[in-house]
Structures are given as C-alpha cells and as structure tokens.
Amino acid sequence: MTASSVPRPASPLAPATPDAAAADAVAAYARLSRRRLLVVAVLALLAAGAFVLDLASGPSGLTVADAVRTLLAPESVPRTTLVILRDLRLPQALMAVLVGASLALAGAEMQTVLNNPLASPLTLGTSSAAVFGAALAIVLGVGIPGVPQLWIIPANAFLFAFGSTVLIQTLSRLRGSGPETVVLFGIALFFTFNALVGLAQFVASEQALQQLVFWTLGSVGRASLEKDAILAVVLAAVLPFSFAAAWQMTALRLGLERAESFGVHVGRLRLAALVRISLLTGAAVAFVGVIGFIGLVAPHMARLLVGEDHRLFLPASALTGALILSLAAAASKLVVPGVVVPVGIVTALVGVPIFLALVLSGRGRA
Amino acid sequence: MSAAGLSIQRLSAGYGRRPVIGDLTLAPFAPGQLTALVGPNAAGKSTLLRALAGLIPARGRLTLDETDLMALPHPIRARLVGFMPQALPQGIALTVMETVIAALMAVPLAAPCSAAEARVRAAALLAQMGIAGLALTPIDRLSGGQRQLVSLAQALVREPRVLLLDEPTSALDLRHQAVVMDLLRGLAAEGRIIVVVLHDLALAARHADHVVVLDRGTLATQGAPAEAITAAMLAAVYGVAGRVETCARGTLQVMVDAPLR
C-alpha cells in the first residue's frame, strides 16, 4: 500500500456529514435549553422557599412548619398564629417577592435596551426620581390634577420614574448614545434628584420628614394586601409584554444595526421597554421606597446562570430578584433581635456575598 | 428602468445633517450577481449599504424588481434585504446557536418560521459553513475569524433576496476568505443579489462580477472587474501608482507600487 492511497483520517471531533453535524447541534441545543429551564425551575423553588422563610422569621418564635401550615391549611392553625402570619406578615412577605421581581425585571430590561451592564433603576436615577415625585406629594401635596388622594404618591412616583427614563434616552441620543454617556447622564440624574429630595426634606414638616425617611431607606413595613394587589396587577400587566419582546431583546444584544436588519424597530422596542421599566420601578418605589442593588445585580446573577436568551433571562432575573429580597426581608428581622431593620439596608448586605460567590465561580466560564 | 434586480437612482444618504452620499445612481444590481463595493476610507461604502438596508434615512429611488423598497414597512423590507454589519459586539452571554436562531425569531413578519424550524435551519446553516461544532460556544469565546463567520451566519440564515455585507472578510485568514467568497458565489448562483464592501481589491477582482468604485460619496467608476479596476483608477481614486495585470491563468492581479505624491 502506497502512502498516497491511505485514506486521510477524519478529524475525531467532526461528524461524518453536514446533516449529522446539524442534527448534533440541534440535539445539543435542546439539552442546553432543558438544563437552563431546570435552572429557572430551581430558582422558582428557591424563591418560594425564601418566601416561606421570610414568613416564618420574626420575633414570635414561629417555625417554617407553622408558615407552611398557615398557607396550606389556615383552619388548622391557632388563632394568634393565623393573625401574626396572615394578617401581619403575609402582606410584607408578598410585597418583598413582588418588589424583588419588579425591580429585577426592570433592571434586566434596562441593561438590555440601554446596552449597559451598569444600568439599573437605582444607578440611573429612576428610583431617585420616583422618590422625588413621592416627596412632592408628601411634603408639598403637589400631585397630578384629577388623581384621587390615595393615588397621588404612587402616581407621582411613576410619572417621575418615567420622565427620568425618557430624559436619559433623549439626552444620550442627542450626544451619540455610547454606553458611558448613558451612565454619566444617569449619575447626573441620580445626584440631581437626590439633592432635590434633600431640599424637600429640609423644608418638610416633622411628620412629612418621617414619611420621607421611610421612603429613602426602603422598607416593606407599610405593606398591605391592597398594595400587594396593585403591584401584582402592574407586574402581571407588564410580564406578557416583556415576554413578547424577548426575542427582539435577545436580537438587540447583537447590536442595534443588526437587530434593525432583522426587522426590529429598535426605537419602538426601547420606548415600550422604558414604559414597562417606569411602571415597575414607579409602582415598586411607590410602596416600599428605594431598594437598590436588586435591579443591578439580580440580572447579572441570572445572566451567569442562564445566559441572555431573554425568554429565560427575564424570568430568571425576576425570580432571582424575588429570592434576594425575600432573603433580605427574613434577615432584616433577625439581625437585631426585636427590631426590624429597613430591608433596603439589608438587601446589599445579603446580596453582595451571593453575587461575589457567583462572579468568582463563574469566572472563565462566562 | 424596468430591469429585474436592485435599482438605485439619485440616492442621497448620511447621518443627521451630514450628507455622505449625494445623488448616486448606479447600474442595477442583477440577480445572480456578486457586486463588490470598493473605494478608499470614507468613500461612503458602509453608508451606502446602510441606506440600502434601510438603517439610515435616505432620499431617492430604491427598487427591487419593481417594488419600491422605501415604501415598504420595515419588517417586510428586512425580509427582502439582509445586512451584515462589520462588528459583533463583545460581552454577550449568548451561544452561537442562540444568536443565529434569534436572527430568525426576532420579528415573525421579517422571517416567518416556527421555533422548531428555526432550530433546524440554524443548525443546517452552521453545518454547511463547517462551524456546527461551535453551536454551543459562547460568542465571546470565538476567535476573530470565527466571530465573522457567525456574524455572516446570522445574516445568511434569513435567506434574503438581497444580501449586503460590510467587509465580511476583514478578519479572516486566506483560507477562510476563500471559503466565504465561495459561499457568497454559491448564494449568488441561487439568484440572489449580493453586495459586498471589500477593502481588498485583489479579492474584488478575483470574485466579483461587477465592481462599483466610490470616492467621497460619488461614483468613480463601475463595470466588470477588468473595466473598473485599472491603473488609472488606482491613481485617481486611491492616490497610488499601481499595475493591474492578467496572470497566466487569466485572473486579474492588482499590484500597488507606491503612494503618489
């Protein structure tokens, strides 16, 4: 046998034919998708677990078992336990879940449509703007004409949240929307609104001041089932639109021009996303005040876990946000015995270690 | 003008108030033809591609087989005209396969196909391009050449009638340049209209049917490679002294000797 007649060995990695290679790719993609769906399911379970833990935490010496029994079979629980868990703690625990999910979803959408990993409702001033809107209502009684008294604060919070996102969008477009420009404008807004909130605090009456401080610290302490319902409605109204835009958002990650060439109206996509972000942030901030960190970090955690296919990335972000805020709410009742520390303070303290652990273990894996 | 193909008449385009292309009329790009768009830096090549793709505002007349492209809704136009930008952004947590599927799924009107169909089409294209093994690789971990192939796949998978490519070979080694140009020739042979911005005149001379030379936003010359790429054009448009010769095997060769003073 001469050397030239020896068949060239095929590369051990390459399948024999293009058809086989394509079939392999489809199968591998299906496996990856299933694995990521599983991750989302586990996140959902963890979030549910954190919710129960949050419900069980507090000064009354109740257990997780009590919390589960209250949720599943309320008639089997003693009257006092029922009152504590269902009437006192349930509204707050639900609020933590809803606010965590809302802020994280808003942050995830913001990072995509502004193409900036540092974008979040807090870092780009949206939360501060919402607080200023609330401050106008609390301190000066200024609101949108025609809005009922009960709704003035949330309506103001939403209006200012929306205004600030539109402002950032417009300014960064005027100046050529490099990612760093967006963040710079966001920082400018953050400081401006914080200064204005400071001014409002300075002129506020003692009672209004107390209410404002509650806002700026961030606390689920004033939650009620009615407020939970409102936030749940906002979240439920926003979610279908977020998911409907999931593929377009995934495409947008490949660059503005490329997404446009796929047929995406990037301008409309951004505007719709900003409306959703403002609704979520405005509603969340309206009821609990400023809770930072979650909107920034939950999307990053979700990205490390499931990548950026937005069909999975958006729900994973929302679930991660709910998980962190529930854990933080539980911790806020345990840090100082007998005292509930505002959850906004605890959030970062609980979230940062989880985040760092994920970043360090995910390095090089991307 | 009623010829089939992509017809460009009196086209002006630019960014904001800065016009880059003024009143450009070109011979129609025929189906089955691979057109190379060449010219020095800032000649308006990329701007022309973006205007053709409908990504920047433009004035003039732009028709594809009698259809007025400028009057079409954006998604419908995107279905007919595909575009491959120069760069794929960094820092994205998506796998190769996900990006190619996203190209199909982003806007149903612009690429009607089911999710299952999208998966199969994406995988088949990657296999055809010889990169099916990269399907689950995050795009941030690809080499420059692989990125360009994946970027090309995102445009190809949508199977547009007109395919506009902005320097698809700039980051590729010699073999992959030949692979990509062959692939584009094959697409042209299916009756598509392929327009490629190229910096490498030798590549244009070797692979294009038709060459359009732009200079400062206007047409310098157009025609078959041998007509458009000449020593006189090199001097007038690029400001270099060069030679254009046919080699023993009949291919056009472009040699640059020195910049002109």
Contact B258, B244 (CB under 8 A): no
Query: Are B235 and B177 part of one and the same domain?
Result: no
Q: Give the rounded percent of residues in chain A with a pLDDT score beyond 90.
A: 39
B145: its two tokens: 């050449």
Structural domain contains residue B67: yes
- For B177-212, the DSSP string reads HHHHHHHHHHHHHTT-EEEEE-S-HHHHHHH-SEEE
Identify the pLDDT of residue B198. Answer: 93
Dist CA A24 CA B123 (whole Å): 8
| pLDDT band at residue B141 under the 50/70/90 scheme | very high
Nearest to B169 by CA among B152, B155, B156, B157: B152
| pLDDT band at residue A366 under the 50/70/90 scheme | very low
- Report how far apart the first and last C-alpha atoms of chain A are (Å, whole number): 49
| pLDDT band at residue A365 under the 50/70/90 scheme | very low
**pLDDT tens for each residue of A31-89:** 999 999 999 999 999 999 999 999 998 887 788 888 898 888 888 888 888 888 888 89
**pLDDT tens for each residue of A83-128:** 888 888 999 999 999 999 999 999 999 999 888 887 888 878 888 8
> How confident is the prediction for chain B on average, in pLDDT?
91
Q: Which residues pair with A289 in a beta bridge?
A: none
Closest alpha carbon within chain B to A305 = B93
Dist CA A70 CA A52 (whole Å): 10
Query: Are B116 and B97 part of one and the same domain?
Result: yes
Contact B27, B37 (CB under 8 A): no
Identify the pLDDT of residue A154. Answer: 78
Query: Are B131 and B159 part of one and the same domain?
Result: yes
The answer to whether A309 contacts chain B (CB < 8 Å) is yes
Contacts of B74 in chain A (CB under 8 A): 260, 263, 265
Is B98 in Cβ contact with A309 (below 8 Å)? yes
Contacts of A250 in chain B (CB under 8 A): 94, 98, 102, 105-106
Contacts of B53 in chain A (CB under 8 A): 260-261
- Mean pLDDT value of segment A236-264: 95
- The edge-to-edge listing of strands for the beta sheet with B18-29 is B18-29, B6-15, B58-64, B67-68
Structural domain contains residue B196: yes
A325: its two tokens: 């805020």
| pLDDT band at residue A362 under the 50/70/90 scheme | low
Query: Are B239 and B163 part of one and the same domain?
Result: no
| pLDDT band at residue B102 under the 50/70/90 scheme | very high
Contacts of A304 in chain B (CB under 8 A): 93
- Mean pLDDT value of segment B245-258: 88
Structural domain contains residue B94: yes
Identify the pLDDT of residue B239. Answer: 92
The answer to whether A362 contacts chain B (CB < 8 Å) is no
Identity of the highest mean pLDDT range in A58-72, A166-180, B22-36? B22-36
Is A262 in Cβ contact with B110 (below 8 Å)? yes
Q: Which helix (H) or strand (E) holds B12?
A: strand B6-15
**pLDDT tens for each residue of B63-72:** 999 899 999 9
Residue B20: phi and psi, rounded to 5, are: -110, -40
Min Cα distance B118 → chain A (Å) is 10
Identify the pLDDT of residue A177. Answer: 55
Instruction: Sort strands B210-215 and B18-29 into parallel, antiparallel or unpaired.
Output: unpaired
Strand, coil or helix: what is B24? strand
Identify the pLDDT of residue A5. Answer: 42
- Mean pLDDT value of segment B231-239: 93
Assess whether pLDDT exceeds 90 at residue A243. Answer: yes
Structural domain contains residue B193: yes
Is A261 in Cβ contact with B155 (below 8 Å)? yes
Min Cα distance B244 → chain A (Å) is 36
Query: Are B152 and B29 part of one and the same domain?
Result: yes
Query: Are B182 and B241 part of one and the same domain?
Result: no
Query: Are B55 and B169 part of one and the same domain?
Result: yes
Cβ-nearest to B94 among A265, A304, A308: A308
- How many C-beta neighbours within 10 Å does residue B217 have? 21
Kindly report each contact of residues A230-234 with a partner whose C-beta sits within 8 Å and lies 24 or more positions away, as own/partner. Answer: A230/A154, A230/A283, A230/A287, A231/A95, A231/A98, A231/A99, A231/A102, A231/A283, A231/A284, A231/A287, A232/A94, A232/A98, A234/A102, A234/A279, A234/A280, A234/A283
Is A13 in Cβ contact with B85 (below 8 Å)? no
A276: its two tokens: 């959703």
In chain B, how many domains are there?
2
Question: Is pLDDT larger for residue B191 or for residue A166?
Answer: B191
Q: Which helix (H) or strand (E) holds A132?
A: helix A126-135
Is B98 in Cβ contact with A307 (below 8 Å)? yes
Q: Assign 3-state DSSP to chain A and report helix, strand, coil percentages, each to 5.
A: 75, 0, 25
> How confident is the prediction for chain A on average, in pLDDT?
85
Closest alpha carbon within chain A to B73 = A263
Which CATH number covers residue B147?
3.40.50.300
The answer to whether A358 contacts chain B (CB < 8 Å) is no
Contacts of A30 in chain B (CB under 8 A): 119
Query: Are B138 and B249 part of one and the same domain?
Result: no
Is B74 in Cβ contact with A261 (below 8 Å)? no
A11, A13, A248, A258, best to mutate vs chain B, most B CBs in 10 Å: A258
Assess whether pLDDT exceeds 70 at residue A175. Answer: no
A221: its two tokens: 């302490």
Min Cα distance B47 → chain A (Å) is 12
Min Cα distance B258 → chain A (Å) is 37
Question: Is pLDDT larger for residue B41 or for residue A44?
Answer: A44
| pLDDT band at residue A4 under the 50/70/90 scheme | very low
Structural domain contains residue B1: no
Min Cα distance B234 → chain A (Å) is 32
Assess whether pLDDT exceeds 90 at residue B91. Answer: no
Is A303 in Cβ contact with B107 (below 8 Å)? no
Identify the pLDDT of residue B100. Answer: 96
The answer to whether A263 contacts chain B (CB < 8 Å) is yes
- C-alpha A274, offset from chain centre: 14
Assess whether pLDDT exceeds 90 at residue B47. Answer: yes
**Residues in Cβ contact with A33 at an 8 Å cutoff, skipping those fewer than 6 apart:** none
B79, B83, B107, B141, best to mutate vs chain A, most A CBs in 10 Å: B107
Dist CA A235 CA A238 (whole Å): 5
Query: Are B145 and B246 part of one and the same domain?
Result: no
Closest alpha carbon within chain A to B75 = A263
pTM reported for the whole predicted model = 0.89
Dist CA A36 CA A246 (whole Å): 16
Is A263 in Cβ contact with B111 (below 8 Å)? yes
Structural domain contains residue B171: yes
Identify the pLDDT of residue A55. Answer: 92
Contacts of B79 in chain A (CB under 8 A): 263
Contacts of B95 in chain A (CB under 8 A): 29, 32, 307
- Mean pLDDT value of segment A331-352: 82
Q: Assign 3-state DSSP to chain B and report helix, strand, coil percentages, each to 5.
A: 40, 30, 30
Contact B54, B78 (CB under 8 A): yes
- C-alpha A325, offset from chain centre: 10
Identify the pLDDT of residue A11. Answer: 46
| pLDDT band at residue A363 under the 50/70/90 scheme | very low
Cβ-nearest to A29 among B53, B93, B119: B119
Query: Are B86 and B163 part of one and the same domain?
Result: yes
Is A254 in Cβ contact with B99 (below 8 Å)? yes
Query: Are B119 and B49 part of one and the same domain?
Result: yes
Question: Is pLDDT larger for residue A42 or for residue A153?
Answer: A42
| pLDDT band at residue B220 under the 50/70/90 scheme | very high
Min Cα distance A113 → chain B (Å) is 13
Query: Are B76 and B179 part of one and the same domain?
Result: yes
Instruction: Sort strands B193-197 and B34-38 into parallel, antiparallel or unpaired.
Output: parallel
Assess whether pLDDT exceeds 50 at residue B2. Answer: no
Assess whether pLDDT exceeds 90 at residue A361. Answer: no
Contacts of B51 in chain A (CB under 8 A): none
Q: Residue B235 sits in which domain range? A: 230-261
